[in-house]
Structure 1
Amino acid sequence: MSDAPTAISFETCLDELEKIVKQLEGGDLPLEKSLELFEKGMALSDSCRKQLESAETRIEMLVRKEGKWQPEPFRPEKG
């Protein structure tokens, strides 16, 4: 896939993914266009996941525990 996302920001990637989901949910697309959008959406999803994993790793490296720098998994509070 030549237009796979490689160096776009997380926010741009997520915005494009949301647009694709809306188009697919509309259900008015020919099968071939739906498949094309699905492939692009999967690539965008993968890019977002990789960027989040990278950010999580950076956060883990920055967490300070008991006066010493120790890696700790990032666990966002669910609210």
Structure 2
Amino acid sequence: SYIEKLITVAGKNDSNAHKAVFAALQSKEATKTLVNEVAPKYVDRPGGYTRITRTRIRRGDATTMAFIELV
């Protein structure tokens, strides 16, 4: 849910969107990539940008492992 909110904000592609995304990520390169490359692909999509696929349970601490991908 964290990245989905950032993609929605970055999709507006104005100066306030840049500021909000940078405030969350604290990285100029990541902000530039999200606003200029990732968000324009999902402008027409009404949400649901990520897919979480649970894979296995880690042996050491029994934590569920997962793949997170952009749809």
Per the normalisation by structure 1, the TM-score is: 0.27
The structure with the larger Rg is: 1
Query: Structure 2 length as normaliser, TM-score?
Result: 0.29
Richer in strand (by share): 2
Name the structure where helix makes up a greater proportion of residues: 1
